[in-house]
Amino acid sequence: MDECVEQLRAHVASGVDRIILIQDRYQPEQIEIIAREIVPRSADAALTLSRPGEPTRSLTAAIERA
């Protein structure tokens, strides 16, 4: 998990403003780990969630609503 957080921070620091996470198989546990463990630790990376045709919104806010 630490490695994932550090990689996200490095991407953002290099200028990346969007990261797309694609799962091999849909596993709700993976989404929950990302939401509960990785996003809060990467808060300074300003992670956002968007779908095609929808405005970008905070990933943390979307998770809290779910």
Residue 53 pLDDT = 65
**32 vs 22, which has greater pLDDT?**
32
Q: What is the pTM of this model?
A: 0.52
Q: Give the contacts of 34 (CB within 8 A, at least 6 positions apart).
A: 21
pLDDT over threshold 80, residue 17: no
Q: Which domain holds residue 14?
A: 2-65
10 Å Cβ neighbour count for 43? 11
Band (pLDDT 50/70/90 cuts) for residue 28 is: confident
Q: Considering only 1-5, 8-12, 30-34, 39-43, which range has the smallest mean pLDDT?
A: 39-43
pLDDT average, residue stretch 47-66: 56
Number of domains present in the structure of the chain: 1
Amino acid 46: pLDDT? 54
Q: Are 46 and 60 in contact (CB under 8 A)?
A: no
